[in-house]
A = this chain, B = another copy of it.
């Protein structure tokens, strides 16, 4: 037992933390490469340099791991978006910017493409991870008289599914990239502002996300 290992408050706990992390990373890599269904637990375990059975001491099932992977992805994106919108004044613009960046990422980032099938899994992860922010924004904007949202949870729930639907249509080539802008308008319309205001909101400046 050498000195470096001695930092007692749980070497085990630290290793578990590391393995949990590594597994999510490995899961994301394999699933992004081959799709969630085609990814095998064996390959994910290999990629994480762990025994196949070990994965099950971290995640109850393959679905459970997939959910963790998607929630991580959503959480990271939500955090990056939040960093930018922090500085926005108009609460309506905060929501509009978020919706745009999510669609842009979903359609542009190669790592997302394969994950869009299992759309209810990704939509639910999006709802859980970004909901707290988005629902707050919808309520803020409504209080500010900018939006007219009756039920913010419902509005965002519909938005997540609509976003996934559009992203799937675009990434599968069913619809051209050019529908993205119009889809933002549609999703903004669900907030009860009229179409003209939605168009105006959608055309605001869209600064890039931080790394």
Contacts and interface: CB of A to CB of B under 8 A. Distances in A.
A16 interface: no
Interface stretch (A7-15, A45-53, A71-79, A152-160): A152-160
Interface stretch (A22-30, A54-62, A106-114, A180-188): A180-188
Interface in A139-195: 148, 150-151, 153-155, 157-162, 164-166, 168-169, 175, 179, 182-183, 185-187, 189-192, 194-195
A81 B179 CA distance: 29
A202 B103 CA distance: 29
Q: Is the interface of A mostly helix, strand, loop or mixed?
A: helix
13 contacts: A116-B120, A119-B119, A120-B164, A153-B175, A154-B175, A154-B179, A158-B166, A158-B183, A160-B165, A161-B162, A161-B164, A162-B165, A189-B192
Interface of A: 116-120, 123, 148, 150-151, 153-155, 157-162, 164-166, 168-169, 175, 179, 182-183, 185-187, 189-192, 194-195
